[in-house]
Amino acid sequence: MTDISPLASPFPDLPPISGVRIAVSRAGYKAWDRADLTYVALDAGTVVAGVTTQSKCPSPEVEWCRAALLLGEARALVVNAGNSNAFTGNRGRAAVEAIAARVAGSVGCKPSGVFVASTGVIGVPLPIDKAEAGIDAALAAPEASWQEAAAAISTTDTFPKGAVTTAIVGGKTVTLAGIIKGSGMIAPDMATMLGFVFTDAAIAPGLLQRMLDEANAETFSCITVDGDTSTSDTVLAFATGRAGNAALAHEDDAGADAFQAALTDLCRQLAQLVVRDGEGARKFITVTVEGAETDRSAHRIALSIANSPLVKTAIAGEDANWGRVVMAVGKAGEPAERDKLAIRFGATQVAENGLAVEGYDEAPVAAHLKGDEVEIGVDLGLGDGRATVWTCDLTHGYISINADYRS
């Protein structure tokens, strides 16, 4: 068992969300002594939005959710941990269909109202008997806490991850709560890992989808642990409508901006928790790029820095090796002019106009790098494009976890 990440955050105090009921059970997908099936019952009228992996080899769960999202209605969520069911052909698809049918029969809804997500080893069909027994046990189980659910959806995660926020919509306070799992195989430019957001707000499913897309672009798509992309990445947002607000239907409705801000804030909290549990992580790194030709270009350069093994090992070694940042800017393939480039670590400018700052003093940089929150700032001096991404350092811990993990 891996030690808890030194960057771990305590699990916050998450309130109940009206219309959401959680249970967990032990399906026994792996030989472990813990809950590994999470069941969430959602009141009638719950709408749903989602973003899923851009992998060309998605799991059957991802394909199922994509189809079900077109209808926009949800009555239940089942999350399996320990087996991703990806790359398992017809047997994998059959397992998802069996889960949806079992739950739909119990709830009295269409199978398309049942959302399914699985995480764990690729290539082993999810055992239908274990899934069905786990569902039956969860249906009969007492209500579980958010923290229990966050633990039950985890795999290599070292701590359970949750976040909460609120917004005022049409004079009513709506609550947004979320749980997430993810530690390795984390890369951006797609919905990353398994994340679930629940709110009591009333909101049209199309608007919820657009707002989730926007939040995703600024949060889940801005994190990376290892540049590897899961076949199962899924983020779902469920809105039960129980808060009593006048339902949001358009971006310009009163309260829509507040809800978007709250949703983005929640997603950012959740995304950053994944980085804080990055496999082997000892440092939380914020990479900010500004002065790029466009925001998109800034985003790509920031990711080139955040995904560079040489930058990540330098931070692990608390080494102010800004030359590696130059390297990562240079390899991004985006517009950059060497002689306009400026780089800082924390608040200290280390390079400007394509060379080291005159009389550069490494002492404050060395002090900054000793902390567990490191900032790398790059100014390209070309335009107004900017982006921020979050990553972690690359340590012996990452190698230990991944060279020993058995398929």
Residues catalogued as catalytic: 192
Count of residues interacting with a copy of itself (CB under 8 A): 73
Using alpha carbons, list the distances in angstroms from residue 340 to 217, 302, 378, 379.
28, 17, 11, 8
Residue selected from 321, 349, 366, 372 as contacting a copy of itself according to rule CB under 8 A: 321
Distance, CA of 73 to CA of 102 (rounded, Å): 18
Distance, CA of 158 to CA of 182 (rounded, Å): 10
Site string for a copy of itself, 58-97 (x = CB under 8 A): x-------------------------x-xxxx-xx-----
Q: Scan residues 368-397 and list those touching a copy of itself (CB under 8 A).
A: 394-396
**Closer residue to a copy of itself (CB): 72 or 227:** 227
Binding of residue 319 to a copy of itself (CB under 8 A): yes
Distance, CA of 373 to CA of 173 (rounded, Å): 33
Helices first, then strands: H and E counts in the chain: 11, 16
Residue 73 DSSP symbol: B
**Closer residue to a copy of itself (CB): 74 or 320:** 320
Q: Scan residues 31-60 and list those touching a copy of itself (CB under 8 A).
A: 53-58
Residues 6+ apart with CB under 8 A from 121: 82, 83, 84, 407
Binding of residue 358 to a copy of itself (CB under 8 A): no
Binding of residue 332 to a copy of itself (CB under 8 A): yes
Site string for a copy of itself, 176-195 (x = CB under 8 A): --------xx-x--------
Residue selected from 15, 105, 206, 317 as contacting a copy of itself according to rule CB under 8 A: 317
Residue 58 DSSP symbol: -
Q: Is 407 annotated as a binding residue?
A: yes
Binding of residue 118 to a copy of itself (CB under 8 A): no
**Interior/surface letters 364-393, b for 16+ CB within 10 angstroms, e for the rest:** ebeebbeeeebbbbbbbbbeebbbbbbbbb
The pair of structure tokens assigned to 85 is: 């069911």
Q: Is 279 annotated as a binding residue?
A: yes
Residue selected from 16, 45, 335, 383 as contacting a copy of itself according to rule CB under 8 A: 335
Binding of residue 6 to a copy of itself (CB under 8 A): no
The pair of structure tokens assigned to 313 is: 């090992």
Distance, CA of 61 to CA of 303 (rounded, Å): 28
**Closer residue to a copy of itself (CB): 20 or 65:** 65
Binding of residue 121 to a copy of itself (CB under 8 A): yes
Residue 351: strand pairing partners: 343, 356
**Closer residue to a copy of itself (CB): 12 or 330:** 330
**Closer residue to a copy of itself (CB): 171 or 371:** 371
Binding of residue 336 to a copy of itself (CB under 8 A): yes
**Closer residue to a copy of itself (CB): 8 or 121:** 121
Residues 6+ apart with CB under 8 A from 27: 36, 37, 80, 130, 131, 133, 134, 137
Binding of residue 307 to a copy of itself (CB under 8 A): yes
Cβ–Cβ under 8 Å, residues 350 and 320:
yes
Q: Is 192 annotated as a binding residue?
A: yes
3 state DSSP class of 269: helix
Rounded least distance, CB 300 to a copy of itself, Å: 12
